[in-house]
Amino acid sequence: MELRKSKSIESVKMKRKINKIIRYTVLIAVAVIMLYPMFWLIGASFKSNAEIFTSVSLFPKKIDFAPYIEGWKTKTEYTFGTYFMNTFQIVIPKVIFSLISSLLTAYGFARFDFKFKKILFSLLMATLFLPQVVTRIPLYILWRQLGFLDTYIPLIANTLFAQEPFFVYMLIQFLRSIPIDLDEAATIDGCNSFQILTKILLPTLKPAIMSCIIFQFVWSMNDFMGPLIYISSVEKYPVAIALKMSIDNSSGIVQWNQIIAMSIISILPSIILYFSAQKYFVEGTTSSGIKG
């Protein structure tokens, strides 16, 4: 009897072990398949053009920084330095404006009771699902009539008005989880509603704020269609459009290693941010759960 029992325990243990091995195998296989192209790309950016198309190896035969140096110069009269500066001129205001405007809106929704609140909240949720494709053309015509084509204004303006429902919704969710007693105590102490937001709620909202900042940063860095439609002069191009131009321009011999090197440089800020602030990415996605 005793023997049998220990045997069955053994077999359960064995089964668990096998289970574990299967799971790890799947996880590792999926990770390798998914990330191999990206790692290979990093290696490829140091390879010669000939080696790229003959070797599946991650590692270049010899490390050559020439693709980076040549790629950075570009075939235009500007370097990638200019394109990066342009990108940041779009991204930084967007991050700041959307944070402030979304915070005010979320605060209004989460902490006040007023007429039509339910209707307004449903409108907010509706815009979350509204396909951008229907509003794009009239907005273009509007900015054209106002004379703002080929400026960064059309790309930034909507962030001044909290027009990214994802952030508003995420902040509302976070605000709702903060006990209202805090506000009430502060009111008794003589804080007005704005002071409650800045002095009491803001410090507790830090994780949500971090999530807003990093998501807006990454999405704005990724934005391609916005600048594609609105920015027409090369000197104002952000990195996304400059990269696209590099694959269009390369008639004749395509310097793939240079294009790849610049592609890597262009996603580097987002990757660094991702690995240093991962926690906030995960929290942001799961708390309100959108975008992909």
- Rule CB under 8 A: say whether 26 interacts with other proteins: yes
Q: How far is the CB of 126 from other proteins (least distance, A)?
A: 9
CA 266 to chain centre: 13
Q: How far apart are CA 129 and CA 3, in angstroms?
A: 62
- Rule CB under 8 A: say whether 150 interacts with other proteins: no
Residue of 76, 89, 195, 263 interacting with other proteins (CB under 8 A): 263
- Rule CB under 8 A: say whether 274 interacts with other proteins: yes
Q: How far is the CB of 3 from other proteins (least distance, A)?
A: 25
Exposed/middle/buried for residue 266 (C-beta within 10 Å: 0-12, 13-18, 19+): buried
- Rule CB under 8 A: say whether 182 interacts with other proteins: no
**Is 211 strand, coil or helix?**
helix
Q: How far apart are CA 259 and CA 79, in angstroms?
A: 13
- Rule CB under 8 A: say whether 31 interacts with other proteins: yes
**Is 152 strand, coil or helix?**
coil
Binders of other proteins in range 190-209 (CB under 8 A): 193
Query: Which is closer to other proteins, CB of 1 or CB of 154?
Result: 154
Q: How far is the CB of 42 from other proteins (least distance, A)?
A: 11
**Is 64 strand, coil or helix?**
coil
- Rule CB under 8 A: say whether 272 interacts with other proteins: no
- Rule CB under 8 A: say whether 101 interacts with other proteins: yes
Q: Which of 112, 283, 111 has the alpha carbon at shortest distance from 209?
A: 283
Rg (CA), the chain: 25
- Rule CB under 8 A: say whether 1 interacts with other proteins: no
- Rule CB under 8 A: say whether 141 interacts with other proteins: yes
Q: Among the candidate windows 7-15, 68-76, 127-135, 202-210, which touches other proteins by CB under 8 A? A: 127-135
- Rule CB under 8 A: say whether 120 interacts with other proteins: yes
Q: How far is the CB of 95 from other proteins (least distance, A)?
A: 16
- Rule CB under 8 A: say whether 282 interacts with other proteins: yes
**Letter for the amino acid at 119?**
I
Contact yes or no for 21/35 (Cβ under 8 A): no
Binders of other proteins in range 55-94 (CB under 8 A): 55-56
- Rule CB under 8 A: say whether 290 interacts with other proteins: yes
- Rule CB under 8 A: say whether 15 interacts with other proteins: no
- Rule CB under 8 A: say whether 178 interacts with other proteins: no
Q: Which of 95, 140, 112 has the alpha carbon at shortest distance from 269?
A: 95
Q: How far apart are CA 49 and CA 60, in angstroms?
A: 11
Tokens of 249: 């321009």
**H/E element, 215:** helix 206-222
- Rule CB under 8 A: say whether 9 interacts with other proteins: no
- Rule CB under 8 A: say whether 27 interacts with other proteins: yes
